[in-house]
Structure 1
Amino acid sequence: MFSSITTLERHMKTCPSVEISKYFKCSICGKHLASGKLLERHMASHKRQYQCDLCNKPYSNSTNLAQHVPLCRQSRQVASVGRVACEDCAKEFTDASVFRAHYLTHTHPFHCSCCNHRFRTRVGYEVHVCDVDQPCDQCSAVFRSVQALNRHFAVHGPPPHTCVSCRRSYYRKESLDRHVCSFEADIKENCKRKESSRFTCSVCGAVLATKHSLNTHLRSAHGN
């Protein structure tokens, strides 16, 4: 028993015993959605409440629009100047489609190797109903979502693959390879902050750790 239609629909997406036979069709563009809630969310995109000023693509909320704009702006830069540098890692691209695929590795780090879809969050990845069945590599069982597969893995014992940094464990090696370690991310962020907080001498280019050190350097080395 489920307390609401939403809860039932969420369950049906991950239940390995359920085959989705009913789809909800958008009356405007004909797209098929797996649930009434997804159709309702999709229909909102046709209302054009939020629209990109660069490409006129509509979005149902300001958050999705804000996530789209940097990609749109940088993709158009390829067309106008012939190249673009990724704002996240500085890697340069001369092909817009290749850049867009790369951009998603930053914004959608969770990648399903079976259906090739990407997701912003781990939860989104784990609960998605994959176009390709998810097989258990220890027995012949097959499931329709990573979440259902992970629940099944418990029957085979504790997860054997563990991240050496955050100690989070996984049943599949590819899940460990794919996971974004929060511990390592914090270290990288701290390094970025230290780099951005350094002070550069405008005369000789020397890099100092504090503003006081920079002032001392300017007086002693350049007489300022």
Structure 2
Amino acid sequence: MMNSQSFSLPTMVPSSSVINSSVTSNLSTNNPPSKSVLISKPFKCSECGRSFAQLTELELHEMSHAAERPYRCELCGKTFAQTSALVKHQRVHTGEKPYKCPMCGKTFALSSGLVLHKRIHTGERPHTCPLCGKKFISSSHLALHLRSHTGERKYKCNVCGKLFLQSSHLVRHKAIHTGEKPFKCEDCGKNFGRASHLKTHRRVHTGERPFKCTQCEKAFTQKAGLILHIRLHTGERPYKCDKCGKNFRSSAHLMSHQLLESGERNFKCTTCSKAFKQVQCKHFSLSYHHLSNKSPNAPYNQCCVQNVTWLQ
């Protein structure tokens, strides 16, 4: 319940000098003031700067400010204008996530979060970049993307000076300098620099594939895999080679194409020192290199890309 609040009121009533002279003349002749008459507004709200002609109007207005955020969180003291906003905020403290995705079971604290998440499954991307045509699931994602066109990178690493579009990207980057990997897999003991990387890794052990294609039911461990797969259905190829105009489904496919076009051999096998134009790995739908060089004790599905290094 709101506590009553008192307001300090001005003790001086404005003199006739602050009243428009045309109003004074109308009053002195007993004529009712016309609608065109402009009355001065000497009573100004110290909170928002709005002015009023009458003291009572100012008093009523000031009460609206006092009632703007009457709902306070008992845990952190943050205030809100509506009870519904307070209820949503309290989920930050309680961890309650009442909105569940019917496709993968992921839960969210806000219904808006669920709406955006569902677009991962459906492939819906209603926000289009006016400069390059790339599509995004939310306006905030589009706003961040637009910085790539403007070159705006506000977040700078104080160690190496590298600039980033988002603060979260800077935080991730700093782990390169610190080498910190605080997130450990309970199943195999492998450490990760980010909680999201650990979460994705654990799907190797659990077999979970939460990202499902609605057109063919194929499932993926990561959102990026689903996005690439959906482009097989839609035919979308957003990455274009600036030399020949050919389009590709992913930046990796474009990069591989550009290396082939340039004739550069930027990948070197650490086993035999042979150089290649592209990574040779079945996980990238490319051929194996030197199957005989794989350790006889290694599992068949071990990625041979670990034996290939990028030549600077």
User: TM-score, normalization: structure 2?
Assistant: 0.21
Q: Greater helix percent: which structure?
A: 1
Q: Whose Rg is larger?
A: 2
Structure 1 length-normalised TM:
0.26
